[in-house]
Amino acid sequence: MSPDDALTLLSAVAGRNWVREQREAAAAVADRCSRVPLALRAIGDRVAAHPQHSMVELAGELATDEGLLDTLEWHDPSVPGVRETISWSDKLLPSQPRQALRMLGPYRAEIDMRAAAAVMRWPLPHTRRVLERLLNEHLLTETTHQRYRMTDLVRAYATERALQDLPQHERDRAMQRWLDWYLHSAAAASRMLAPHRDLPALDACAPEVDALVVAPQDYHAALGWCARELPHLGHAIDRAHALGHHSTAWKLAVVYGTYLELRRPWQTWISVYSTATEIARVSQDRAGESWCLHHLGSAWAHLRNYDAALPALAEAIRLRAEIEDQQGLAWSRCVLGAMFLDMGRYSDGHEQFEQAWQTFTQVAPAYGTASALAGLGTAQQRLGNAEQARGRLTDALRLFDDAGARDGAALALLHLGETFHALRQPQRALDYVERGIRIRRELDDRSGIAECLHVRAQILHTSGDLDAARAAWTEALSLFDSLADPRASDVRSRLATVETTVQGY
């Protein structure tokens, strides 16, 4: 049923105008009933029998799968409930579709056909035929091409049956195959998004799983895969931890790092790394803890929560020094240096980038050296040493270009634009920034686009082109707001002054 029709039916059966009084909670209840008339009538019957209970309380009861089907039983035992109705379809299934229904129940979001094949240890053509049978029985829906979802009600039933019908070891092995598929597919996507960035070493997975791992063919395919599979990430980390596979848990968080930095789903970003950090800490995996603290500190720094970022980064630096992870140590110093620049602590930022650069020149490929050089150049520009900054940033750009690191090149171009702005060469400044904007658009890096537009607007405003400056700031503000990025306040303040007297060079 449509959301509106579901609410209408629920209100009619309950005998009260729940939609008007508690619309949000009523909508949540309807969704948990999968907007199925039988379930809506059952829950409406319960509400009518217990008018003292609010819809908010009922929504809370239905929030978890445990006991969901019990809650949806009719008070009249002669009337078939949701569980019994689903069981009729289940009992008509041959053995392999019945097995698939139970094995796929624990996966709460959409599941990819290749993931389902990994879980079941079946060839793709056979998996497709089995899933088609579940589709025909309305126990599964195909959301997009070769991606499937169970309704909440069917998933609750499938999970119940799995607990009763499948041995624990069989369920655990199936979950492990999915975790291996997910981890290795996410790592492949991350390598496509940023082939020059480091990832932790992964254990090999079983050959039958490895054959099903998704390897995106281009950058935008990798972005799409990460977006589709992101809803699984928190659940996957929790399940890996529950199975005792602690390194899998924290590595799942780390391999998603590039995507999280690009798209900035703040709540997920912070939650994932907070959980992964604790898992690594409890399992006494110092390398894993340092990886997760690094990413957690970076997330807090991007949110400008410096009180949370500083201790996380300081601890990452301490751990990486202890375990002699020189390359990781240098990267954590780069993140700390960038945070210091954002805080206006330019000398402290310069010091961190200087130490990172010295380390990278000894142990790392060109990308790390270029990143530290870009940070050094930016710090020097902020300290008023524009000529020195130009040299550092030019060297960084060359190294990024040689490494094919487009994200790094865009960063160097942005800061070269700022530097030539400081050198009172607005046209050269704009040229560099425009090149950076083009790369950021190609990468669909919305945060990076907004950052470049912000600098473009500053150059145009100083040059006296107020209309163009206003347009650039307006677009930057829209992008920052869409990301809930704290830099939106900086742009909003500048837009408010766009009509003031032109500064001039």
Question: What is the DSSP secondary-structure string of 174-200?
Answer: HHHHHHHHHHHHHHHHHHHH-TTS---
The DSSP code for 147 is E
Confidence at residue 22, expressed as pLDDT on a 0 to 100 scale: 79
**Residue keyed to tokens 């990143």:** 371
User: For residue 279, what are its two tokens?
Assistant: 């898992």
- CB distance 369 to 353 below 8 Å: no
Helix 168-193 × helix 113-120 angle, to 10°: 140
Q: Cα separations (Å) of 308 from 75, 101, 151, 266, 485?
A: 51, 44, 39, 14, 17
Q: Which of 457, 458, 417 is nearest to 435 (CA)?
A: 417
d(C-alpha 146, C-alpha 303), whole Å: 36
d(C-alpha 167, C-alpha 455), whole Å: 60
Can you spell out the DSSP letters for 69-113? HHHT--SSTTS--HHHHHHHHHHTS-HHHHHHHHHTTT--S-EEH
Neighbours of 402 (CB within 10 A): 12
Can you spell out the DSSP letters for 4-45? HHHHHHHHHHHTS-HHHHSHHHHHHHHHHTTT-HHHHHHHHH
Decide: helix, strand or coil at residue 139.
Answer: coil
Category of 345 on φ-ψ map: left (φ > 0), alpha (ψ -120 to 50) or beta: beta
Confidence at residue 504, expressed as pLDDT on a 0 to 100 scale: 57
Residue pLDDT tens, the chain, 505 long: 888 888 888 888 876 666 567 788 888 888 888 888 887 788 777 777 777 677 788 787 787 777 788 877 766 666 677 888 899 999 999 999 999 999 999 887 799 999 999 999 999 999 999 999 999 999 999 999 999 999 989 999 999 999 999 999 999 999 999 999 999 999 999 999 999 999 999 999 999 999 999 999 999 999 999 999 999 999 999 999 999 999 999 999 999 999 999 999 999 999 999 999 999 999 999 999 999 999 999 999 999 999 999 999 999 999 999 999 999 999 999 999 999 999 999 999 999 999 999 999 998 779 999 999 999 999 999 999 999 999 999 999 999 999 999 999 999 999 999 999 999 999 999 999 999 999 999 999 999 999 999 999 999 999 999 999 999 999 999 999 999 999 999 999 999 888 655 555 5
Confidence at residue 78, expressed as pLDDT on a 0 to 100 scale: 63
Confidence at residue 38, expressed as pLDDT on a 0 to 100 scale: 81
Neighbours of 432 (CB within 10 A): 25
Confidence at residue 500, expressed as pLDDT on a 0 to 100 scale: 56
Strand partners, 148: 111, 142
d(C-alpha 85, C-alpha 92), whole Å: 12
**Residue keyed to tokens 């340092």:** 290
- CB distance 272 to 260 below 8 Å: yes
Task: Specify the fold of 85-166.
Answer: Arc Repressor Mutant, subunit A (1.10.10)
Confidence at residue 74, expressed as pLDDT on a 0 to 100 scale: 66
Residue ranges of domains in the chain: 3-78, 85-166
User: For residue 432, what are its two tokens?
Assistant: 């560099």
Decide: helix, strand or coil at residue 203.
Answer: coil
